[in-house]
Structure 1
Protein backbone atom coordinates (compact mmCIF):
# COMPACT_ATOMS: atom_id res chain seq x y z
CA UNK A 1 0.00 0.00 0.00
CA UNK A 2 1.43 3.37 -1.08
CA UNK A 3 0.78 6.08 1.53
CA UNK A 4 1.02 8.74 -1.20
CA UNK A 5 -2.20 7.37 -2.68
CA UNK A 6 -3.91 7.93 0.68
CA UNK A 7 -2.52 11.47 0.91
CA UNK A 8 -3.84 12.19 -2.58
CA UNK A 9 -7.18 10.66 -1.63
CA UNK A 10 -7.32 12.94 1.40
CA UNK A 11 -6.58 16.03 -0.73
CA UNK A 12 -9.24 15.14 -3.30
CA UNK A 13 -11.74 14.25 -0.57
CA UNK A 14 -11.08 17.63 1.07
CA UNK A 15 -11.81 19.48 -2.20
CA UNK A 16 -14.89 17.36 -2.86
CA UNK A 17 -16.20 18.14 0.60
CA UNK A 18 -15.61 21.87 0.14
CA UNK A 19 -16.78 22.31 -3.48
CA UNK A 20 -19.18 19.41 -4.01
CA UNK A 21 -17.43 18.58 -7.30
CA UNK A 22 -17.32 14.87 -8.08
CA UNK A 23 -14.09 13.08 -7.24
CA UNK A 24 -13.77 11.72 -10.78
CA UNK A 25 -12.92 15.09 -12.28
CA UNK A 26 -10.10 15.46 -9.75
CA UNK A 27 -9.00 11.90 -8.92
CA UNK A 28 -8.70 10.42 -12.41
CA UNK A 29 -6.34 13.09 -13.82
CA UNK A 30 -4.29 12.87 -10.62
CA UNK A 31 -3.84 9.11 -11.03
CA UNK A 32 -2.84 9.53 -14.67
CA UNK A 33 -0.46 12.49 -14.46
CA UNK A 34 0.99 12.19 -10.94
CA UNK A 35 1.21 8.41 -10.53
CA UNK A 36 1.39 7.31 -14.16
CA UNK A 37 -1.57 4.92 -14.22
CA UNK A 38 -3.13 4.03 -17.57
CA UNK A 39 -6.28 6.04 -18.19
CA UNK A 40 -8.39 2.85 -18.30
CA UNK A 41 -7.16 1.72 -14.84
CA UNK A 42 -7.60 5.22 -13.39
CA UNK A 43 -11.17 5.38 -14.72
CA UNK A 44 -12.14 1.88 -13.55
CA UNK A 45 -10.71 2.34 -10.05
CA UNK A 46 -12.24 5.77 -9.67
CA UNK A 47 -15.71 4.50 -10.64
CA UNK A 48 -15.76 2.00 -7.76
CA UNK A 49 -14.24 4.64 -5.47
CA UNK A 50 -17.11 7.00 -6.40
CA UNK A 51 -19.79 4.36 -5.84
CA UNK A 52 -18.51 3.70 -2.30
CA UNK A 53 -17.96 7.33 -1.25
CA UNK A 54 -21.29 8.56 -2.62
CA UNK A 55 -23.30 5.90 -0.77
CA UNK A 56 -22.84 7.62 2.60
CA UNK A 57 -23.99 10.92 1.11
CA UNK A 58 -27.25 9.42 -0.12
CA UNK A 59 -28.09 8.09 3.34
CA UNK A 60 -27.78 11.65 4.64
CA UNK A 61 -29.81 13.19 1.80
CA UNK A 62 -32.56 10.57 1.88
CA UNK A 63 -32.75 9.91 5.61
CA UNK A 64 -32.00 13.31 7.14
CA UNK A 65 -33.07 15.77 4.43
CA UNK A 66 -35.60 13.76 2.39
CA UNK A 67 -34.01 15.40 -0.63
CA UNK A 68 -33.99 12.58 -3.16
CA UNK A 69 -36.63 12.53 -5.92
CA UNK A 70 -36.68 8.79 -6.61
CA UNK A 71 -39.05 9.26 -9.56
CA UNK A 72 -36.42 11.29 -11.41
CA UNK A 73 -33.67 8.91 -10.28
CA UNK A 74 -35.62 6.09 -11.94
CA UNK A 75 -36.01 7.99 -15.21
CA UNK A 76 -32.31 8.87 -15.31
CA UNK A 77 -31.34 5.27 -14.53
CA UNK A 78 -33.64 4.02 -17.29
CA UNK A 79 -31.34 5.78 -19.73
CA UNK A 80 -27.96 5.59 -18.01
CA UNK A 81 -27.75 1.95 -16.90
CA UNK A 82 -28.54 0.34 -20.29
CA UNK A 83 -26.17 2.71 -22.08
CA UNK A 84 -23.45 2.10 -19.49
CA UNK A 85 -23.87 -1.62 -20.21
CA UNK A 86 -23.71 -1.03 -23.98
CA UNK A 87 -20.57 1.10 -23.58
CA UNK A 88 -18.89 -1.63 -21.51
CA UNK A 89 -19.85 -4.22 -24.13
CA UNK A 90 -18.30 -2.09 -26.90
CA UNK A 91 -15.07 -1.65 -24.88
CA UNK A 92 -14.94 -5.41 -24.25
CA UNK A 93 -15.40 -6.20 -27.94
CA UNK A 94 -12.69 -3.71 -28.92
CA UNK A 95 -10.32 -5.29 -26.40
CA UNK A 96 -11.20 -8.78 -27.69
CA UNK A 97 -10.04 -7.93 -31.22
CA UNK A 98 -6.88 -6.31 -29.92
CA UNK A 99 -7.93 -2.68 -30.36
CA UNK A 100 -6.22 -0.29 -27.96
CA UNK A 101 -8.94 1.45 -25.94
CA UNK A 102 -6.69 3.69 -23.83
CA UNK A 103 -6.64 6.45 -26.45
CA UNK A 104 -10.43 6.47 -26.72
CA UNK A 105 -10.82 6.59 -22.93
CA UNK A 106 -8.18 9.34 -22.63
CA UNK A 107 -9.90 11.50 -25.25
CA UNK A 108 -13.32 10.93 -23.61
CA UNK A 109 -11.79 11.89 -20.27
CA UNK A 110 -10.53 15.16 -21.75
CA UNK A 111 -13.93 16.02 -23.25
CA UNK A 112 -15.67 15.19 -19.95
CA UNK A 113 -13.29 17.43 -17.99
CA UNK A 114 -13.83 20.35 -20.37
CA UNK A 115 -17.61 19.90 -20.08
CA UNK A 116 -17.31 19.69 -16.28
CA UNK A 117 -15.31 22.94 -16.18
CA UNK A 118 -18.01 24.64 -18.26
CA UNK A 119 -20.71 23.12 -16.05
CA UNK A 120 -19.11 24.57 -12.90
CA UNK A 121 -19.29 28.05 -14.40
CA UNK A 122 -22.77 27.60 -15.91
CA UNK A 123 -24.14 26.32 -12.59
CA UNK A 124 -23.41 29.66 -10.89
CA UNK A 125 -25.13 31.54 -13.72
CA UNK A 126 -28.19 29.28 -13.61
CA UNK A 127 -28.51 29.70 -9.85
CA UNK A 128 -28.19 33.48 -10.13
CA UNK A 129 -30.89 33.67 -12.80
CA UNK A 130 -33.20 31.36 -10.87
CA UNK A 131 -32.89 33.53 -7.76
CA UNK A 132 -33.51 36.69 -9.79
CA UNK A 133 -36.71 35.19 -11.18
CA UNK A 134 -37.83 34.10 -7.72
CA UNK A 135 -37.63 30.45 -8.67
CA UNK A 136 -35.30 29.60 -5.79
CA UNK A 137 -35.25 31.07 -2.28
CA UNK A 138 -31.97 32.01 -0.62
CA UNK A 139 -32.37 29.00 1.63
CA UNK A 140 -33.49 26.82 -1.32
CA UNK A 141 -36.66 25.81 0.46
CA UNK A 142 -40.39 25.75 -0.11
CA UNK A 143 -40.20 25.55 -3.91
CA UNK A 144 -42.59 23.39 -5.92
CA UNK A 145 -40.74 21.16 -8.40
CA UNK A 146 -41.62 22.01 -11.98
CA UNK A 147 -40.05 20.70 -15.17
CA UNK A 148 -38.93 22.90 -18.04
CA UNK A 149 -40.72 20.74 -20.59
CA UNK A 150 -44.39 19.72 -20.83
CA UNK A 151 -45.26 16.35 -19.21
CA UNK A 152 -45.22 14.56 -22.58
CA UNK A 153 -41.56 15.48 -23.12
CA UNK A 154 -40.33 15.57 -19.53
CA UNK A 155 -39.76 11.82 -19.14
CA UNK A 156 -38.09 11.28 -22.56
CA UNK A 157 -35.80 14.29 -21.97
CA UNK A 158 -34.76 12.94 -18.57
CA UNK A 159 -34.15 9.43 -19.94
CA UNK A 160 -32.08 10.87 -22.81
CA UNK A 161 -30.03 12.89 -20.32
CA UNK A 162 -29.41 9.71 -18.35
CA UNK A 163 -28.27 7.91 -21.51
CA UNK A 164 -25.69 10.61 -22.28
CA UNK A 165 -24.43 10.53 -18.68
CA UNK A 166 -24.25 6.72 -18.83
CA UNK A 167 -21.90 6.74 -21.81
CA UNK A 168 -19.78 9.64 -20.56
CA UNK A 169 -19.37 8.36 -17.00
CA UNK A 170 -18.53 4.81 -18.14
CA UNK A 171 -15.84 6.06 -20.52
CA UNK A 172 -14.31 8.72 -18.29
CA UNK A 173 -15.61 8.34 -14.68
CA UNK A 174 -16.37 12.08 -14.95
CA UNK A 175 -19.79 13.68 -15.24
CA UNK A 176 -21.97 12.02 -12.63
CA UNK A 177 -21.50 15.02 -10.32
CA UNK A 178 -21.11 18.42 -11.97
CA UNK A 179 -22.69 17.51 -15.32
CA UNK A 180 -25.53 15.65 -13.64
CA UNK A 181 -26.45 18.54 -11.38
CA UNK A 182 -26.35 21.09 -14.22
CA UNK A 183 -28.52 18.81 -16.38
CA UNK A 184 -31.06 18.54 -13.56
CA UNK A 185 -31.01 22.31 -13.02
CA UNK A 186 -31.82 22.77 -16.71
CA UNK A 187 -34.53 20.07 -16.80
CA UNK A 188 -36.12 21.04 -13.46
CA UNK A 189 -35.41 24.77 -12.87
CA UNK A 190 -37.78 25.03 -9.88
CA UNK A 191 -36.30 22.08 -8.02
CA UNK A 192 -34.42 23.06 -4.86
CA UNK A 193 -30.63 22.90 -4.95
CA UNK A 194 -30.64 20.44 -2.05
CA UNK A 195 -32.96 18.10 -3.92
CA UNK A 196 -30.92 18.41 -7.14
CA UNK A 197 -27.76 17.37 -5.27
CA UNK A 198 -29.53 14.51 -3.46
CA UNK A 199 -31.20 13.22 -6.63
CA UNK A 200 -27.99 13.40 -8.66
CA UNK A 201 -26.09 11.63 -5.89
CA UNK A 202 -28.67 8.83 -5.69
CA UNK A 203 -28.53 8.31 -9.46
CA UNK A 204 -24.72 8.30 -9.48
CA UNK A 205 -24.45 5.29 -7.14
CA UNK A 206 -25.97 2.56 -9.38
CA UNK A 207 -24.36 4.13 -12.46
CA UNK A 208 -20.81 4.26 -11.04
CA UNK A 209 -21.26 0.83 -9.39
CA UNK A 210 -22.36 -0.81 -12.67
CA UNK A 211 -19.64 0.93 -14.69
CA UNK A 212 -17.02 0.19 -12.02
CA UNK A 213 -17.89 -3.50 -11.79
CA UNK A 214 -17.82 -3.66 -15.58
CA UNK A 215 -14.31 -2.19 -15.63
CA UNK A 216 -13.35 -4.62 -12.84
CA UNK A 217 -14.37 -7.54 -15.07
CA UNK A 218 -12.20 -6.04 -17.83
CA UNK A 219 -9.18 -5.85 -15.51
CA UNK A 220 -9.24 -2.08 -15.28
CA UNK A 221 -9.40 -1.78 -11.47
CA UNK A 222 -6.47 -1.72 -9.03
CA UNK A 223 -7.99 -2.93 -5.74
CA UNK A 224 -5.00 -1.97 -3.56
CA UNK A 225 -5.10 1.53 -5.04
CA UNK A 226 -8.84 1.67 -4.34
CA UNK A 227 -8.35 0.80 -0.65
CA UNK A 228 -5.49 3.34 -0.31
CA UNK A 229 -7.61 6.12 -1.82
CA UNK A 230 -10.56 5.35 0.45
CA UNK A 231 -8.37 5.44 3.58
CA UNK A 232 -7.42 9.02 2.77
CA UNK A 233 -10.55 10.36 1.09
CA UNK A 234 -13.20 9.45 3.64
CA UNK A 235 -11.76 11.63 6.42
CA UNK A 236 -10.93 14.27 3.79
CA UNK A 237 -14.56 14.49 2.68
CA UNK A 238 -15.71 14.72 6.31
CA UNK A 239 -13.32 17.59 7.09
CA UNK A 240 -14.05 19.35 3.77
CA UNK A 241 -17.78 19.23 4.40
CA UNK A 242 -17.28 21.08 7.68
CA UNK A 243 -14.97 23.65 6.06
CA UNK A 244 -17.28 24.33 3.13
CA UNK A 245 -19.28 26.97 5.01
CA UNK A 246 -16.11 28.92 5.87
CA UNK A 247 -14.48 29.11 2.41
CA UNK A 248 -16.05 31.44 -0.24
CA UNK A 249 -17.33 29.20 -3.01
CA UNK A 250 -17.40 32.01 -5.59
CA UNK A 251 -13.59 32.16 -5.45
CA UNK A 252 -12.90 28.45 -5.35
CA UNK A 253 -15.19 27.21 -8.13
CA UNK A 254 -13.80 29.42 -10.96
CA UNK A 255 -10.25 28.45 -9.98
CA UNK A 256 -11.19 24.78 -9.96
CA UNK A 257 -12.98 25.13 -13.31
CA UNK A 258 -9.86 26.71 -14.84
CA UNK A 259 -7.68 23.84 -13.64
CA UNK A 260 -10.10 21.22 -14.99
CA UNK A 261 -10.28 23.04 -18.32
CA UNK A 262 -6.49 23.01 -18.69
CA UNK A 263 -6.27 19.33 -17.73
CA UNK A 264 -9.07 18.47 -20.15
CA UNK A 265 -7.32 20.27 -23.00
CA UNK A 266 -4.11 18.37 -22.21
CA UNK A 267 -5.94 15.03 -22.40
CA UNK A 268 -7.60 15.97 -25.72
CA UNK A 269 -4.44 17.29 -27.39
CA UNK A 270 -1.88 14.75 -26.19
Structure 2
Protein backbone atom coordinates (compact mmCIF):
# COMPACT_ATOMS: atom_id res chain seq x y z
CA UNK A 1 0.00 0.00 0.00
CA UNK A 2 2.76 2.44 0.93
CA UNK A 3 4.79 1.60 -2.20
CA UNK A 4 1.75 2.19 -4.39
CA UNK A 5 1.27 5.63 -2.84
CA UNK A 6 4.87 6.77 -3.33
CA UNK A 7 5.19 9.89 -5.48
CA UNK A 8 8.36 9.89 -7.66
CA UNK A 9 8.57 13.66 -7.24
CA UNK A 10 9.25 13.20 -3.53
CA UNK A 11 11.97 10.66 -4.33
CA UNK A 12 13.58 13.21 -6.64
CA UNK A 13 13.50 15.70 -3.76
CA UNK A 14 15.19 13.02 -1.64
CA UNK A 15 17.91 12.68 -4.29
CA UNK A 16 18.49 16.45 -4.37
CA UNK A 17 18.61 16.82 -0.58
CA UNK A 18 20.75 13.69 -0.25
CA UNK A 19 23.26 15.12 -2.71
CA UNK A 20 23.48 18.39 -0.77
CA UNK A 21 23.93 16.51 2.50
CA UNK A 22 26.67 14.40 0.94
CA UNK A 23 28.42 17.46 -0.49
CA UNK A 24 28.19 19.75 2.55
CA UNK A 25 27.61 17.55 5.60
CA UNK A 26 24.70 19.75 6.66
CA UNK A 27 21.82 17.84 8.25
CA UNK A 28 18.98 16.90 5.94
CA UNK A 29 16.39 18.50 8.23
CA UNK A 30 17.72 21.96 7.40
CA UNK A 31 16.92 21.28 3.76
CA UNK A 32 14.11 18.72 3.67
CA UNK A 33 11.67 20.17 6.19
CA UNK A 34 11.40 23.67 4.61
CA UNK A 35 11.18 22.02 1.17
CA UNK A 36 8.23 19.91 2.29
CA UNK A 37 6.48 22.94 3.81
CA UNK A 38 7.15 25.59 1.17
CA UNK A 39 7.40 23.60 -2.07
CA UNK A 40 5.04 20.68 -1.46
CA UNK A 41 2.58 22.31 0.94
CA UNK A 42 2.73 19.77 3.76
CA UNK A 43 1.51 20.81 7.19
CA UNK A 44 4.54 21.84 9.29
CA UNK A 45 3.88 19.11 11.88
CA UNK A 46 3.73 16.42 9.17
CA UNK A 47 6.92 17.74 7.55
CA UNK A 48 8.77 17.74 10.87
CA UNK A 49 7.49 14.35 12.04
CA UNK A 50 8.25 12.61 8.74
CA UNK A 51 11.67 14.22 8.46
CA UNK A 52 12.58 13.11 11.99
CA UNK A 53 12.07 9.42 11.15
CA UNK A 54 13.86 10.00 7.85
CA UNK A 55 16.81 11.47 9.78
CA UNK A 56 16.81 8.61 12.29
CA UNK A 57 17.13 6.09 9.45
CA UNK A 58 19.88 7.92 7.58
CA UNK A 59 21.89 8.84 10.68
CA UNK A 60 21.82 5.24 11.93
CA UNK A 61 24.05 4.31 9.01
CA UNK A 62 26.40 7.18 9.81
CA UNK A 63 26.58 6.12 13.46
CA UNK A 64 27.48 2.57 12.46
CA UNK A 65 30.35 3.88 10.35
CA UNK A 66 31.65 6.21 13.07
CA UNK A 67 31.21 3.57 15.76
CA UNK A 68 33.18 1.02 13.78
CA UNK A 69 35.91 3.59 13.23
CA UNK A 70 36.11 4.49 16.93
CA UNK A 71 35.13 8.10 16.33
CA UNK A 72 32.26 8.27 18.82
CA UNK A 73 32.80 9.58 22.36
CA UNK A 74 29.99 7.82 24.19
CA UNK A 75 30.47 9.97 27.29
CA UNK A 76 29.51 13.04 25.27
CA UNK A 77 26.58 11.14 23.72
CA UNK A 78 25.27 10.11 27.16
CA UNK A 79 25.49 13.66 28.46
CA UNK A 80 23.62 15.06 25.48
CA UNK A 81 20.95 12.35 25.73
CA UNK A 82 20.51 13.02 29.45
CA UNK A 83 19.21 16.45 28.51
CA UNK A 84 17.60 15.80 25.12
CA UNK A 85 15.46 12.74 25.90
CA UNK A 86 13.43 14.29 28.77
CA UNK A 87 13.17 17.62 26.93
CA UNK A 88 11.92 15.84 23.80
CA UNK A 89 9.29 13.89 25.71
CA UNK A 90 8.01 17.01 27.49
CA UNK A 91 7.95 19.04 24.26
CA UNK A 92 6.00 16.33 22.43
CA UNK A 93 3.53 16.03 25.30
CA UNK A 94 2.89 19.78 25.16
CA UNK A 95 2.66 19.67 21.36
CA UNK A 96 0.17 16.82 21.48
CA UNK A 97 -2.04 18.60 23.99
CA UNK A 98 -1.84 21.96 22.22
CA UNK A 99 -2.42 20.42 18.80
CA UNK A 100 -5.85 19.20 19.78
CA UNK A 101 -7.10 22.60 20.85
CA UNK A 102 -4.78 25.27 19.47
CA UNK A 103 -4.94 26.37 15.84
CA UNK A 104 -1.56 28.14 16.04
CA UNK A 105 0.54 24.98 16.49
CA UNK A 106 1.55 24.98 12.84
CA UNK A 107 2.62 28.60 13.07
CA UNK A 108 4.74 27.92 16.17
CA UNK A 109 6.48 25.06 14.36
CA UNK A 110 7.03 27.19 11.24
CA UNK A 111 8.48 30.11 13.24
CA UNK A 112 10.77 27.80 15.23
CA UNK A 113 11.90 26.16 11.99
CA UNK A 114 12.66 29.54 10.43
CA UNK A 115 14.63 30.73 13.46
CA UNK A 116 16.58 27.45 13.52
CA UNK A 117 17.43 27.84 9.83
CA UNK A 118 18.69 31.39 10.37
CA UNK A 119 20.85 30.22 13.28
CA UNK A 120 22.12 27.29 11.21
CA UNK A 121 23.11 29.66 8.40
CA UNK A 122 25.13 31.74 10.87
CA UNK A 123 26.77 28.59 12.28
CA UNK A 124 27.70 27.37 8.79
CA UNK A 125 29.27 30.67 7.74
CA UNK A 126 30.94 31.75 10.97
CA UNK A 127 31.63 28.53 12.91
CA UNK A 128 35.39 29.07 12.93
CA UNK A 129 35.04 32.67 14.12
CA UNK A 130 32.50 31.77 16.82
CA UNK A 131 34.52 28.84 18.18
CA UNK A 132 37.75 30.83 18.07
CA UNK A 133 36.17 33.75 19.95
CA UNK A 134 34.87 31.64 22.83
CA UNK A 135 38.02 29.52 22.99
CA UNK A 136 40.21 32.61 23.36
CA UNK A 137 37.89 34.41 25.77
CA UNK A 138 37.23 31.63 28.25
CA UNK A 139 39.68 29.38 30.05
CA UNK A 140 39.09 25.60 29.96
CA UNK A 141 36.07 24.85 32.11
CA UNK A 142 36.05 22.41 35.04
CA UNK A 143 34.69 18.97 34.15
CA UNK A 144 31.46 19.29 36.23
CA UNK A 145 30.65 22.55 34.43
CA UNK A 146 31.32 21.00 31.03
CA UNK A 147 29.01 18.12 31.92
CA UNK A 148 26.21 20.46 33.05
CA UNK A 149 26.52 22.62 29.93
CA UNK A 150 26.47 19.53 27.71
CA UNK A 151 23.26 18.31 29.37
CA UNK A 152 21.78 21.80 28.93
CA UNK A 153 22.80 21.75 25.25
CA UNK A 154 21.07 18.38 24.89
CA UNK A 155 17.88 19.79 26.42
CA UNK A 156 17.88 22.78 24.06
CA UNK A 157 18.47 20.51 21.07
CA UNK A 158 15.66 18.22 22.23
CA UNK A 159 13.17 21.11 22.23
CA UNK A 160 14.47 22.56 18.97
CA UNK A 161 14.56 19.26 17.06
CA UNK A 162 11.12 18.19 18.31
CA UNK A 163 9.60 21.43 17.01
CA UNK A 164 11.60 21.87 13.80
CA UNK A 165 13.76 18.75 13.10
CA UNK A 166 16.67 21.21 12.79
CA UNK A 167 19.55 22.02 15.15
CA UNK A 168 21.30 18.79 16.06
CA UNK A 169 23.84 19.21 13.24
CA UNK A 170 25.44 22.60 12.64
CA UNK A 171 24.24 24.23 15.87
CA UNK A 172 25.06 21.28 18.12
CA UNK A 173 28.50 20.82 16.57
CA UNK A 174 29.39 24.49 17.02
CA UNK A 175 28.69 24.36 20.77
CA UNK A 176 30.44 20.99 21.17
CA UNK A 177 33.58 22.45 19.58
CA UNK A 178 33.51 25.19 22.22
CA UNK A 179 32.86 22.84 25.14
CA UNK A 180 35.37 20.17 24.10
CA UNK A 181 38.29 22.00 22.43
CA UNK A 182 40.72 19.15 23.16
CA UNK A 183 38.64 16.40 21.55
CA UNK A 184 39.43 15.61 17.87
CA UNK A 185 36.84 17.07 15.53
CA UNK A 186 36.05 13.68 13.99
CA UNK A 187 35.13 12.32 17.44
CA UNK A 188 32.81 15.27 18.04
CA UNK A 189 31.22 14.77 14.61
CA UNK A 190 30.72 11.07 15.35
CA UNK A 191 29.29 11.85 18.79
CA UNK A 192 26.92 14.45 17.36
CA UNK A 193 25.64 11.99 14.75
CA UNK A 194 25.32 9.18 17.31
CA UNK A 195 23.29 11.41 19.63
CA UNK A 196 21.02 12.43 16.75
CA UNK A 197 19.84 8.82 16.30
CA UNK A 198 17.97 8.39 19.62
CA UNK A 199 16.94 12.05 19.55
CA UNK A 200 15.33 11.90 16.11
CA UNK A 201 13.95 8.40 16.73
CA UNK A 202 12.19 9.38 19.96
CA UNK A 203 10.96 12.68 18.52
CA UNK A 204 9.83 10.94 15.31
CA UNK A 205 8.03 8.22 17.27
CA UNK A 206 6.30 10.90 19.30
CA UNK A 207 5.12 12.66 16.14
CA UNK A 208 3.94 9.28 14.83
CA UNK A 209 1.86 8.77 17.98
CA UNK A 210 0.19 12.15 17.56
CA UNK A 211 -0.49 11.42 13.89
CA UNK A 212 2.00 13.72 12.15
CA UNK A 213 4.02 11.21 10.07
CA UNK A 214 3.32 10.40 6.41
CA UNK A 215 4.83 6.95 5.77
CA UNK A 216 4.33 7.05 2.01
CA UNK A 217 6.31 10.30 1.97
CA UNK A 218 8.93 8.76 4.27
CA UNK A 219 9.40 5.81 1.90
CA UNK A 220 9.75 8.10 -1.11
CA UNK A 221 12.35 10.26 0.64
CA UNK A 222 14.44 7.27 1.70
CA UNK A 223 14.35 5.76 -1.80
CA UNK A 224 15.77 8.98 -3.21
CA UNK A 225 18.12 10.10 -0.45
CA UNK A 226 20.32 7.00 -0.18
CA UNK A 227 21.68 7.21 -3.76
CA UNK A 228 21.68 11.00 -3.44
CA UNK A 229 23.98 10.95 -0.39
CA UNK A 230 26.34 8.50 -2.11
CA UNK A 231 26.46 10.64 -5.26
CA UNK A 232 26.90 13.84 -3.27
CA UNK A 233 29.79 12.34 -1.29
CA UNK A 234 31.53 11.40 -4.54
CA UNK A 235 31.01 14.84 -6.05
CA UNK A 236 32.10 16.65 -2.88
CA UNK A 237 35.78 16.14 -3.62
CA UNK A 238 35.40 18.06 -6.90
CA UNK A 239 33.56 21.13 -5.61
CA UNK A 240 35.18 23.73 -3.37
CA UNK A 241 33.72 23.99 0.12
CA UNK A 242 34.33 27.74 -0.07
CA UNK A 243 31.78 27.94 -2.86
CA UNK A 244 29.17 25.52 -1.51
CA UNK A 245 28.87 26.72 2.07
CA UNK A 246 28.13 30.42 1.39
CA UNK A 247 25.51 29.42 -1.19
CA UNK A 248 23.93 26.92 1.21
CA UNK A 249 24.02 29.36 4.13
CA UNK A 250 22.47 32.09 2.02
CA UNK A 251 19.71 29.77 0.88
CA UNK A 252 18.94 28.71 4.46
CA UNK A 253 18.90 32.35 5.58
CA UNK A 254 16.44 33.33 2.84
CA UNK A 255 14.15 30.36 3.56
CA UNK A 256 14.42 30.91 7.31
CA UNK A 257 13.49 34.58 6.91
CA UNK A 258 10.52 33.66 4.76
CA UNK A 259 9.25 31.22 7.40
CA UNK A 260 9.72 33.66 10.29
CA UNK A 261 8.36 36.76 8.59
TM-score computed with the length of structure 2 as normaliser: 0.93
CA RMSD of aligned residues (A): 1.7
1:154 alignment counterpart = 146
Q: Paired residue for 1:101, among 75, 99, 105?
A: 105
Q: Paired residue for 2:116, among 112, 120, 125?
A: 112
1:69 alignment counterpart = 73
1:136 alignment counterpart = none
2:256 alignment counterpart = 264
Q: Paired residue for 1:41, among 28, 37, 46?
A: 46
Q: Paired residue for 2:33, among 4, 28, 41?
A: 28
Residue segments in structure 2 that go unaligned for 5+ positions in a row: 1-5
Q: Paired residue for 2:234, among 225, 239, 242?
A: 242
Structure 1 residues 231 and 149, CA gap change in structure 2 (3 angstroms): same
Contact kept, 8 Å, 1:67 with 1:194, in 2: the verdict is yes
**Alignment map for 1:118-137 (pairs within 5 Å):** 118-125=122-129, 129=132
Q: Distance in 2 between matches of 1:33 and 1:55?
A: 27
Is structure 2 residue 167 aligned with structure 1 residue 163? no
User: In the TM superposition, what is the alpha-carbon distance from 1:126 to its structure 2 partner?
Assistant: 5.3
Q: Secondary structure at the match of 2:238?
A: coil
Q: Distance in 2 between matches of 1:207 and 1:106?
A: 20
2:63 alignment counterpart = 58
TM-score computed with the length of structure 1 as normaliser: 0.90
Question: Aligned pairs, how many?
Answer: 253
Residue segments in structure 1 that go unaligned for 5+ positions in a row: 134-146
Q: Distance in 2 between matches of 1:223 and 1:148?
A: 46
Q: Deviations over 1:150-179 (max 9, x none)?
A: 112111010000000000000000011111
Is structure 2 residue 84 aligned with structure 1 residue 80? yes
Q: Distance in 2 between matches of 1:24 and 1:86?
A: 21
Contact kept, 8 Å, 1:148 with 1:154, in 2: the verdict is no
Is 71-80 or 242-251 further displaced after alignment?
242-251
Q: Deviations over 1:67-109 (max 9, x none)?
A: 0000000000000010000000101111233443101101110
Contact kept, 8 Å, 1:92 with 1:218, in 2: the verdict is yes
Q: Distance in 1 between matches of 2:14 and 2:211?
A: 22
Contact kept, 8 Å, 1:9 with 1:230, in 2: the verdict is yes
Is structure 2 residue 258 aligned with structure 1 residue 253? no
